[in-house]
A and B are shown apart, each in its own frame.
Chain A
Amino acid sequence: MYGGEFDGNAAFAGGGFMPSQSTTQGNDSSSSLKNRDVRTLLPLTLKQLSSATTNGESNFSVDGVDINTVAIVGRISRMENRITQVDFVVDDGTGWVDCVRWCQERQETEEMEAVRLGMYVRLHGHVKSFQGKRSVNVFSIRPVTDFNEIVHHFTECMYVHMYNTKVQGGSVAQGGSTTQATATPRPQMPYSTMPTSAKPYQTGPSNQFSNQINDPMHGVKQTVMNYLNQPMHLVSEAGVHCDIIARDLRIPPLQVRQAIEQLSSDGCVYSTVDDTCFKSTLNA
């Protein structure tokens, strides 16, 4: 989570629907998420898709995230097979959308043959716009066999929406701060630190996102991490003595010790020469 990177692929096996953010503080929040090299896979309801904003060039975005690929789960309410392509309409209860599936390879034709009118399907595709009408160019589709998938998809849509809107809210509130040892906690990007873009460090799927609200030490831990992640401390072999941390940050030594213990068990810091000097594990 350092540097504000969140790699969806690492966190959600096979998902990768979270956009990765390339920079942290001091950056315009909207530009940090509109990285054109980032491929996103967003689970969306058709209502969300129809209210996606567009910049007029077939570039759509939802909750500030560029839409690349979408995942939709719904029923096929109309279907026309035209040999090289199949035109169909998918209805997910929040709306319906025209879809087209080009079938040039045999594998594609077979995939479509498994899909019938009235079936629930999961599809992935790109959003296209023509004369103001939006449609989906489908490249992957399969029937739903376990109907819990429908509940799961909508739950996922809500989660991703919540995640993306919270990230936006947090970044906008932070934007412009350039001091290094800033102590302002940002719930969406736990322990995010450097104002200059640090080498993105991706950690595992830790649920720090949800834990902050319950963690009274969060602010102190964040401050200590910000301090230890400063370049001069990152390069120093011996690390920093915790009393010095306490003095520099003007935090009671006992609190610093407590924070360091928790950070150490989280794997964010480690002790160096003895158990009073610590270093951040960032870029270690």
Chain B
Amino acid sequence: MDTSSPSAFVNGALLRRYIGQKVRTVIQVIGSDTGSVVGKSTDDLQIVVRGPSTTPPLTTYLEVIGIAESDNSIRAETWTNFGNTFDPQNYNELCKLASGEFKHLFI
């Protein structure tokens, strides 16, 4: 059991706090290109995800886990399709709580 490399739950606004660190977020996919996906964070900010060169078919929502490169881009290590019926507002609130009042349960 190990908790030495957690990934913080972030939305667009929280991403800047974890630059260089491992983060996870869910974005709504707007467009994709070879090797990168552009999406909208759960708090309506734009995020660019740089990932593997072959992008598999993407659903509306995509979870990305990777290293935060800047305040609006992530270098993805893993991504998971979160389907089309995901609730971004709930996730947004979770991010705020997990980085705030309940940070000790997560990081």
Q: A136-158 vs B: 1/0 string, CB under 8 Å?
A: 00000000001110011011011
Contact A147 B61 (CB under 8 A): yes
Q: How far is the CB of B1 from chain A (nearest CB, A)?
A: 4
Contact A93 B6 (CB under 8 A): yes
Query: How extensive is the interface on chain B, given as a class?
Result: 20 to 34
Contact A147 B2, CB 8 Å, known A48-B105, A158-B97, A161-B105: no
Query: Please, which residues of chain B bring their CB within 8 A of the CB of A120?
Result: 80
Give chain B interface residues in 68-107, CB to chain A under 8 Å: 78, 80, 82-83, 85-87, 90-91, 94, 97-98, 102, 104-107
Query: Please, which residues of chain A bring their CB within 8 A of the CB of B24?
Result: 93
Query: Please, which residues of chain A bring their CB within 8 A of the CB of B7?
Result: 93
The reply to whether the CB of A46 lies closer than 8 angstroms to some CB of chain B is yes
Contact A50 B9, CB 8 Å, known A45-B105, A147-B83, A151-B91: no
Query: Please, which residues of chain A bring their CB within 8 A of the CB of B86?
Result: 147-148
A133's nearest neighbour on chain B, judged by CB, is B1
The reply to whether the CB of A231 lies closer than 8 angstroms to some CB of chain B is no
Give chain B interface residues in 1-37, CB to chain A under 8 Å: 1-4, 6-7, 9, 24
Contact B65 A147 (CB under 8 A): no
The reply to whether the CB of B43 lies closer than 8 angstroms to some CB of chain A is no
Contact A46 B91, CB 8 Å, known A93-B9, A158-B105: no
Most chain A CB within a 10 A radius of its CB, from B82, B83, B97 = B82
Query: Please, which residues of chain B bring their CB within 8 A of the CB of A97?
Result: 1-2
Distance, CA A48 to CA B107, complexed state (A): 10
Distance, CA A268 to CA B29, complexed state (A): 52
Q: B57-71 vs A: 1/0 string, CB under 8 Å?
A: 000010101000000
Partner of B105, one of A47, A134, A147, A152: A47
Query: Please, which residues of chain B bring their CB within 8 A of the CB of A154?
Result: 9, 94, 98, 106
Contact B1 A147 (CB under 8 A): no
Number of interface residues of A (CB under 8 A): 28
A153's nearest neighbour on chain B, judged by CB, is B94
Q: How far is the CB of A249 from chain B (nearest CB, A)?
A: 38
The reply to whether the CB of A204 lies closer than 8 angstroms to some CB of chain B is no
Contact A94 B105 (CB under 8 A): yes
Contact A147 B6, CB 8 Å, known A47-B105, A133-B1: no
Contact A148 B90 (CB under 8 A): yes
The reply to whether the CB of A20 lies closer than 8 angstroms to some CB of chain B is no
Q: How far is the CB of B62 from chain A (nearest CB, A)?
A: 10
Contact A146 B85, CB 8 Å, known A96-B1, A97-B1, A151-B90: yes
Partner of B1, one of A45, A49, A146: A49
Query: Please, which residues of chain B bring their CB within 8 A of the CB of A50?
Result: 1-3
Query: Please, which residues of chain B bring their CB within 8 A of the CB of A146?
Result: 83, 85
The reply to whether the CB of A135 lies closer than 8 angstroms to some CB of chain B is yes
Contact B3 A47 (CB under 8 A): yes
Contact A157 B105, CB 8 Å, known A94-B6, A148-B87: yes
- Interface residues, chain B, with chain A CB atoms under 8 Å away: 1-4, 6-7, 9, 24, 61, 63, 65, 78, 80, 82-83, 85-87, 90-91, 94, 97-98, 102, 104-107
- Interface residues, chain A, with chain B CB atoms under 8 Å away: 45-50, 75, 93-98, 118, 120, 133-135, 146-148, 151-152, 154-155, 157-158, 161
**Known contacts A46-B1, A93-B65, then 7 further A-B pairs from the complex at CB < 8 Å, ordered by chain A residue:** A93-B6, A93-B7, A97-B1, A118-B80, A146-B85, A147-B63, A152-B90
